[in-house]
Amino acid sequence: MNGPRPTPITVSVRQRAMLQSIPRRHTASQRLIRRVRIVLALADNPAVEAVAAQLHFNRLTVRLWRDRWLQAATVLHQAEQDEASDSRLLDRIEQILTDAPRPGTPATFTPEQLVQLVAVACEPPEQSGRPIDHWTERELADELTRRGIVPAISPRSVGRFLKGSRSPTASQPLLAQRQPRRP
């Protein structure tokens, strides 16, 4: 086979033992287990194409995790030289095999604010002193800002959050329903 030689990765005996313990844990995510399998396979055979074919993964995925492991090799080696505990070394390995932060802005609303939005939507509007029979998205947005739950929110965002928080088979509507008028 012509071309550049594959870059080998080094996995110490202790690191290999740690990596092999991860798939046996009941709490390990499948994503983490796949990455462990990639690293262990690359330690045995540094050919990215062969490992990708063996594990049925995309070669770019295998290459990504090989490169991640190579970048962190000095950190892991230093941790072993410093005689880090098994749990500390395992934490380092898991950090290496965890997704990198993705670009983008943080969420505008906290989960607590969204829970409060749903709670307000479940209240009858009369309880908030609103002269309406049922909540609209605009009324809810106004009430949330009036109560100081959020600094500002659009009616469209309120509708999106309420639509997304409802299960597809919800037995009850999320917004308070219009009650029949009493004479």
Task: List the pLDDT tens digit at each of the 183 positions of the chain.
Answer: 577 788 889 899 999 999 999 999 999 999 999 999 999 999 999 999 999 999 999 999 999 999 999 999 988 888 888 888 888 889 999 999 998 888 888 888 999 999 999 999 999 999 989 999 999 999 999 999 999 999 999 999 999 998 875 555 455 555 555 566 666
* C-alpha 28, offset from chain centre: 14
Tokens 């740690």 belong to 18
SS3 10: coil
124 and 175 co-located in one domain: yes
* Amino acid 4: pLDDT: 79
Give start and end residues of each alpha helix (H) in 13-171. 13-21, 30-44, 48-55, 59-81, 86-96, 111-122, 137-147, 155-165
* Amino acid 155: pLDDT: 95
The residue among 96, 125, 154 that closes a domain is 96
Q: What kind and span of H or E run contains 92? A: helix 86-96
Alpha-carbon distances, residue 150 vs 40, 104, 106, 119 (angstroms): 48, 21, 16, 14
112 and 136 co-located in one domain: yes
* Amino acid 178: pLDDT: 59
* Amino acid 100: pLDDT: 81
110 and 178 co-located in one domain: yes
Owning domain of residue 148: 105-183
* 50 domain residue, yes or no: yes
* Amino acid 83: pLDDT: 86
* Amino acid 80: pLDDT: 86
91 and 129 co-located in one domain: no
The residue among 96, 116, 134 that closes a domain is 96
Could you tell me the pTM of the whole model? 0.57
* 1 domain residue, yes or no: no
Q: How many domains does the chain contain in total?
A: 2
174 and 118 co-located in one domain: yes
